[in-house]
A and B are shown apart, each in its own frame.
Chain A
Amino acid sequence: MDFEKLHREESGRILATLIRLLGDFDLAEEMLQEAYAVALQKWPVEGTPANPRAWLISTARHKAIDRLRRGRRFKRKGEEIAKTAEVAVGPESDREEEMLSDDRLRLIFTCCHPSLPMEARVALTLRTVCGITTEEISRAFLVPVATMAQRLVRAKGKIREAGIPYRVPSQEELRDRLDGVLLVVYLIFNEGYLASTGDALVRRELCAEAIRLGRVVCALLPNQAEAQALLGLMLLHDSRRDARVSPGGDLVLLDEQDRSLWHQGQIEEGTKLVETALRHGEAGVYALQAAIAALHANAKAAKDTDWPQIAALYDALLRTHASPVIEVNRAVAVAMARSLEQGLVLLDELEQREELEEFHLLPAARANLLRRLGRMPEAAEAYQRALTLATNDIERRFLRRRLAEIEYLGEAPD
């Protein structure tokens, strides 16, 4: 019996069911820990039960009943739970599987409820749905453990006191609420994928958890185009994980990556998901981004990239979901699809905008185009500007390297 594995893979599902049965997050968590402690003692001696999951649920529930009966104030509650105690845990069956899945979906929607602050949604989802420890989450988000623990306590308190239900939203609410869930999943992924600081292993784990969550949502709510698109998008980005940072820890840009390091299985799966999503739904924000990622991922070499198509997709994104990142990326796509000069004109226009003044990717993109155009002094200036704005260590190292190359070239005789 691989106890670690059971803990990792099943905790979220078991906890979800316990929360439904006990109606209380903290009690469920505490009782599950106690049940694990009993299992650690008993299983090596008595053997692992046929259905470890059901055993843990049943043990945790009985512990909860004992606990509640001991406290007088909770007596009635204890009786209520005791009444349901006999019903639920039978042998492993399709019915049980279905019930656990429903519980898990409920838990996801509760943790991602829009009335919780965004950072609490992310933390609570990682803690309860994914079963990641508070210590690990605080390390991933570079927040002191006490702060993260406090955040979780407040969120659970709000769920209890504000009456946030433990339920899959009704059909008419589902669309909006699912968007909220997908955003939490995407934020978890991005934290792992983009963050520069913090423990690399933990961050890798965040990407894996986000993909796992994406799979759970797709499995539990089939035919939701945006959920499939998001899973596809994450798989396509993640497929490049071994190529985008050099062994020395340096950032490697897309066009310079060793494409043989890309994970083909993930690219194929991601591409299929994008195609399905685009066939079934109107192209949402994840579908459009995933389509762009798929075009990059399926180009055999950087020069084979279908830039005109990518530029068109950025145009579509810009119409519905304008953001500084999309503006800059669109300009770069235009530069590659048509001409470097045209891209540069677009970036120069963006530089006039006040809200983009502090955005480091803008001068970085300009610098890159200027460098390709051979306008080295201007490129050096733009790299300098990007360096003063960038906060990410890996990015800063990359910008410094580029700057050094230019200055070296600048000094070299023709």
Chain B
Amino acid sequence: MQYLMLIYHSEAGFEKTSESDRAAIYQEYGQLREELSAKGKFVGGNQLLPTTVATMVRVREGKRVVTDGPFAETKEQLGGYFLVNADDLDEAIAIAARIPSARNGTIEVRPIAVRGKAVQA
């Protein structure tokens, strides 16, 4: 199965992180990526630029509405994602727990929908 891991963290907190700490975190991310790739588990993944450079697009009654945002009241923002192959949810959870941001943020693990799927083996 494929699982998307949505990586939520505090942008404000990340901004305050020192250069050297950031470098260590990126290195850890890189290692995890390599390790997953070697096992054929890594499908894709990226860090996202912060919500300050995000754009919200809606179409209402045929009219395009473009705004800045998001202005979520939440403390954590979507900061990146991993798309992985895992045998089951427990394996996915084990991978999610190794994502560095899990230690101060939250990883949301979502199974990818498969259309026309019959009985699950």
Interface residues of A (CB under 8 A from B): 23-24, 27, 68, 73-74, 77, 80, 113, 115, 160-165, 167, 169, 173
Contacts and interface: CB of A to CB of B under 8 A. Distances in A.
B121 A163 contact: no
Contact of B89 (A68, A77, A165): A165
B88 A163 contact: yes
Interface string B80-95: 0000001111101110
Interface of B: 1, 3, 86-90, 92-94, 111, 118-121
Nearest to B93: A115
Contacts of B121: 23, 77, 80
Nearest to A23: B121
- Among B89, B94, B111, B121, the one with the most A-chain Cβ atoms within 10 Å of its Cβ is B89
B91 to A, nearest CB: 8
B88 A164 contact: yes
A173 B93 CA distance: 11
Contact of A165 (B3, B90, B111, B119): B90
Contacts of B1: 163
A27 B89 contact: no
A160 B120 contact: yes
B119 A77 contact: yes
A74 B89 contact: no
A169 B90 contact: yes
A318 B57 CA distance: 52
A163 B119 contact: no
Given A74-B119, A167-B88, 8 more contacts: A24-B120, A68-B119, A80-B121, A161-B120, A163-B86, A164-B88, A164-B90, A173-B90
A77 B118 contact: yes
Contact of A27 (B88, B111, B119): B119
CB-based closest 3 A-B pairs:
A165-B88, A163-B88, A163-B89
Nearest to A170: B90
Contacts of B118: 73-74, 77
Nearest to B1: A163
- Among A161, A162, A163, the one with the most B-chain Cβ atoms within 10 Å of its Cβ is A163
Contacts of B86: 163
Contacts of A161: 111, 120
B95 to A, nearest CB: 13
A115 B89 contact: yes
Nearest to B114: A161
- Among A161, A164, A167, the one with the most B-chain Cβ atoms within 10 Å of its Cβ is A161
A164 B88 CA distance: 6
23 contacts: A23-B119, A23-B120, A23-B121, A27-B119, A73-B118, A74-B118, A74-B119, A77-B121, A80-B121, A113-B89, A115-B89, A160-B120, A161-B111, A162-B111, A163-B86, A163-B87, A163-B88, A163-B92, A163-B120, A164-B90, A165-B89, A167-B90, A173-B94
A167 B1 CA distance: 16
A74 B111 CA distance: 22
A137 to B, nearest CB: 25
Nearest to B117: A161
A115 to B, nearest CB: 6
A327 to B, nearest CB: 30
B119 A164 contact: no
A43 B89 CA distance: 42
A77 B120 CA distance: 9
A23 to B, nearest CB: 6
Contacts of B92: 163
A23 B121 CA distance: 6
Contacts of A24: 119-120
A173 B118 CA distance: 31
B119 A162 contact: no
Nearest to B120: A160
Contacts of B3: 163
Nearest to B119: A77
Contacts of B87: 163, 165
B71 to A, nearest CB: 29
A345 to B, nearest CB: 39
Contacts of A167: 88, 90
A113 B89 CA distance: 10
A321 B88 CA distance: 33
B121 to A, nearest CB: 6
